[in-house]
Structure 1
Amino acid sequence: MQVVAIRDVIPPPQRECFNDVYIVYELMDTDLHQLICCNQKFNEEHYQYFIYQILRGLKYIHSANVLHRDLKPSNLLVNENCDLKICDFGLARVNTESDFMTEYAITRWYRPPELLLYSSQYSAAIDMWSVGCIFMELFIRKPLFPG
């Protein structure tokens, strides 16, 4: 599965003063942003494997009616075998047709046009736009739409 696994949840020692909770995730070596920035050489198989894994992870997330809403290279963890995991679900939301979503989602460089125009109704297509931006960033080694 291309979603980072939760290994443990550590609750506070006293439940009366519940201010913090710690979530322990599986260990990954780096993220895609770091690989892009360090000028790591990629071949065609790397591109295919990274995009395949991102799309496979999104298929899993979207099949549960969840929108990630913040896909970017730094939220894609990678290990030494080039296995990729999607992480950081802090902006994720359940996608229901009746709910209006906040316009603020997704880091600006990976934000689709409908969110730039402050639409509060959107679909899983917002995550797909981000994947396209990430795909191009792998090739050109810089954000496609910085701003």
Structure 2
Amino acid sequence: VRAQIFGTTFEITTRYSDLQPVGMGAFGLVCSAKDQLTNQAVAVKKIMKPFSTPVLAKRTYRELKLLKHLRHENVISLSDIFISPLEDIYFVTELLGTDLHRLLTSRPLEKQFIQYFLYQILRGLKYVHSAGVVHRDLKPSNILINENCDLKICDFGLARV
């Protein structure tokens, strides 16, 4: 299945449909999609030309390796991965509604939300650090939040073991 998103070709398997743009970062583009197998909403992150330089290849490999092994309720989890004929890599993860950056810019947070978010961030970081991993790019836009205020740390491309 091919779709044009922000001028970029998304070439995904038929397992995923209803692509909608969510955001764009320095190394990839994220869309929401429907997983036809599970009937769940998912996030599909396209890593563009991950093999074009040794630095990008290492970054992609590092993120993939970490996402495959890290399993915690406050860390994003990888549910699928595939490579397109154009040699782009797609990571499929759970879809959360927003990120902390968007939430903070939309309105001030009440004390109980600040406490709950901080608690979850620290739980996730404790797990990540106990696994010998340093995130190195923790910022509000790399902290995803769903409608129940459940939080997950994402984007491990710059992480070090």
TM-score of the pair, normalised by structure 1: 0.58
Aligned to 1:49: 116
- Number of residue-to-residue matches in the alignment: 89
Which residue type is aligned with residue 83 of structure 1?
Answer: D
Per chain length, whose mean CA-contact separation is higher, i.e. which structure has more relative contact order (CA < 8 Å, sep 6+)?
1
> Are 1:4 and 2:76 an aligned pair?
yes
Which residue type is aligned with residue 91 of structure 1?
Answer: L
What aligned pairs does 1:1-147 form with structure 2 within 5 A after superposition? 1-13=73-85, 19-39=87-107, 41-94=108-161
Which residue type is aligned with residue 78 of structure 2?
Answer: I
Shift of 1:50: 0.3
Q: Secondary structure at the match of 1:8?
A: strand
Identity %: 61
Q: Secondary structure at the match of 2:84?
A: coil
Aligned to 1:145: none
Name which one, 1 or 2, has greater alpha-carbon Rg.
1
Counterpart Cα distance in 2 of 1:3 and 1:32:
14
Aligned to 1:117: none
Flag structure 2 segments of 5+ consecutive residues without an equivalent: 1-72
Counterpart Cα distance in 1 of 2:83 and 2:131:
26
Aligned to 1:139: none
Counterpart Cα distance in 2 of 1:35 and 1:43:
12
Flag structure 1 segments of 5+ consecutive residues without an equivalent: 95-147
Counterpart Cα distance in 1 of 2:83 and 2:158:
22
Q: Secondary structure at the match of 2:148?
A: coil
TM-score of the pair, normalised by structure 2: 0.53
- Relative to its length, the structure with more strand (as a share) is 2
Q: Secondary structure at the match of 2:74?
A: coil
Which residue type is aligned with residue 68 of structure 1?
Answer: H
Counterpart Cα distance in 1 of 2:109 and 2:142:
19
Shift of 1:11: 2.5
